[in-house]
Amino acid sequence: MTDIPVPAPAAAAAPSASGLPAWLSAVHPAWWILGFLLLFMPAMAGDFVLVQIFGWSFILGMIALSLMFLGGYGGMVSLAQMTIAALAGYMAAVFGTSSVAEISLGLPWWIAVPIALSIATLFGVVVGALAVRTAGIYTIMITLAISAAFFYFALQNYEIFNGQRGFNGIRAPVAFGVDWRAPVPFYYLTLALAAASYLFVVYVGRAPFGLALQGIRDNARRMAAIGYNVTAHRIAAYAVASFIAGVAGILLTWQNGQISPGTAGIPAVIDILVIAVVGGLGHPIGPFLGALLYALLRTFALDVFSAFGFESTRFNLLVGVAFLVVVLASPDGLVGLWRRWRDRRRPAAKPSGGHR
């Protein structure tokens, strides 16, 4: 057979040689290895690594993923995602149980969590409705202003947000006979939800809605001219992203056992942007890579610094410089670096291949 360019969907539908269903054999072997590694991680790693490195990476990765969804597919870089996550965490504390008995309503988790998610998603839609009135750089500024307003509001409001102290004693529930607070179940919980949101974003990116969204990103006027409601698509994208961020926010609150205004402070908001950009806005795996790197740095920077004879408090300097280097050298982050390295390694052997 000659080397005829074949579009990817047709190739995926063709029967495969190994006898596996086509959709299974289309998955790159590297994903199988990664999947097995993550699934059997509890056998290899201790509780600290499971929760503080991997659990945290998955959670931060989900929040950054919601930013990647908006920024990469929708062209709207929103700095409000950490705020939406924190709002979901706050609402889980207000409607669920915490040590602050005067405010917490103490509802069971299967009521409190859906309420918290709905409120966070609704808030995200309102933020989106405001933000989509503007474009590009204005979106960044407005969402940054909204995040800061939320931070100061939570700091000063005692009726709902309990001011500076926030809430503590928030626990993952015991459900279906499993104590989800324990390290191994919590690891699997975060892994499952992170994988689900990753697959969901990949799926939406190829579904008609995601394709329309990418069309709007590339040329909003043309999409409007062929009959797409640009504003509705953008706001819907905010709703999707806010839901993912909300789930992550509740997980984050469960992991920390507490939530306070600092969770949504400006440094935290910027950190999510750093994670998403360093990982790469071009592919949904980017945010998780960035998050893992961030969690590793955050946890082990102290040791690294003392090894090099620096003061251990200069963490932000390291993160800032690393961020600058990535942004200046590779605007599409680690994913972009990897893609370029891969392309250089096999220099145009199959220039026409439809596979990626």
Partner 1 sequence: MSRSLAGWRIALVALAVVLFAWLVLAPWPQGFEAVFGRKKVFLNAVLNGITLGGLYFLVASGFTLIFGLMRNVNLAHGSLYLVGGYVAYETVEATGSWLLSFVAAFLVTAFLGLLLQWFIFRRMEGQDLRQTLVTIGISIVAADVMLWLWGGGFYQIAAPAALGGATQLPLISSVKSNGDTVWLTYPIVRLVIFAASVVLGVAMWLVLNRTRLGMMVRAGVDDRDMLSAIAVRVPILFMLVFAFGAGLAGVAGVVGGTFQSLAPGEDSRFLLVSLIVVIVGGMGSIPGAALGALIIGLAEQLGSVYAPTYAVALTFLIMVAVLAFRPQGLMGRA
Read off the DSSP letter of residue 347.
Answer: T
Q: Of 42 and 279, which CB lies nearer to partner 1 in the complex structure?
A: 279
Is residue 146 within the footprint of partner 1 (CB under 8 A)? Answer: yes
Taking the complex as a whole, the smallest distance from the CB of residue 59 to partner 1 amounts, in Å, to: 22
- In whole angstroms, what separates CA 151 from the centre of its chain? 20
* Smallest separation, CB 133 to partner 1 (Å): 5
By the rule CB under 8 A, 138 interacts with partner 1: yes
Question: Dihedral of CA 336/69/144/257: which sign?
Answer: negative
Q: How many residues bind partner 1 (CB under 8 A)?
A: 37
Kindly state whether residue 77 participates in binding partner 1, applying the rule CB under 8 A. yes
- 141 is a site residue for partner 1 (CB under 8 A): yes
Could you say whether residue 156 binds partner 1 (CB under 8 A)? Answer: yes
Q: Which stretch binds partner 1 (CB under 8 A): 141-149, 195-203, 210-218, 344-352?
A: 141-149
Contact 185, 178 (CB under 8 A): yes
Instruction: Give, in degrees to the nearest 5, the angle at Cα 93 between 157 and 99.
Output: 90
**24, 33, 34, 149: residue in contact with partner 1 (rule CB under 8 A):** 149
The one among 86, 93, 117, 142 contacting partner 1 by CB under 8 A: 142
Q: 165-183 in b/e burial notation, b at 16+ Cβ within 10 A?
A: ebbeebbbbeeeeeebbeb
Give Cβ neighbours of residue 264 (< 8 Å, ≥ 6 apart): 82, 83, 85, 86, 87, 147, 150, 151, 154
Does 327 engage in binding with partner 1 (CB under 8 A)?
A: yes
175 touching partner 1, by CB under 8 A = no
Binding mask of the shown chain, residues 266 to 285, with x at each position contacting partner 1 by CB under 8 A? x---x--xx--x--------
Q: Of 1-9, 105-113, 139-147, 221-229, which part binds partner 1 (CB under 8 A)?
A: 139-147
Tokens of 22: 């086509």
DSSP three-state, residue 102: coil
Binding of partner 1 at residue 314 (CB under 8 A)? yes
Of the candidate residues 32, 158, 203, 300, the single one contacting partner 1 (CB under 8 A): 158
- Residue 74 to residues 86, 96, 128, 190, 204, Cα–Cα distance (Å): 23, 34, 12, 26, 12
Residue 302 in the binding site for partner 1 (CB under 8 A): no
Residue 235 interacts with partner 1 (CB under 8 A): yes or no: no
Residues written for the chain? 356
241 in contact with partner 1 (CB under 8 A): no
- Which residue among 118, 134, 256, 258 contacts partner 1 (CB under 8 A)? 134
Tell whether residue 152 is a contact of partner 1 (CB under 8 A).
yes
| Nearer residue to partner 1 within complex by CB, 85 or 146 | 146
Q: Which stretch binds partner 1 (CB under 8 A): 94-102, 134-142, 251-259, 289-297?
A: 134-142
Q: Where are the alpha helices (DSSP H) in the chain?
A: 8-13, 22-25, 29-39, 41-44, 47-48, 56-68, 81-95, 109-131, 137-156, 183-206, 208-218, 220-225, 230-256, 266-279, 285-308, 315-329, 333-345
Q: Is 259 helix (H, G, I), strand (E, B) or coil?
A: strand
Q: What is the CA radius of gyration of the chain?
A: 21
Q: DSSP string spanning 144-209?
A: HHHHHHHHHHHHH--SSS-TTT-EE-----EETTEETTSHHHHHHHHHHHHHHHHHHHHHHHHSHH
Could you tell me which of 148, 111, 113 has the C-alpha nearest to residue 127? 148
Question: Could you say which of 35, 114, 136, 169 contacts partner 1 (CB under 8 A)?
Answer: 136
Smallest distance from the beta carbon of 324 to partner 1, in angstroms?
A: 4
Q: Any contact of residue 164 with partner 1 (CB under 8 A)?
A: no
For residue 286, the minimal CB distance to partner 1 (Å) is 14
Q: Which residues bind partner 1 (CB under 8 A)?
A: 77, 130, 133-134, 136-138, 140-142, 144-146, 148-149, 152-153, 156-158, 266, 270, 273-274, 277, 311, 314, 316-317, 319-321, 323-324, 327-328, 331
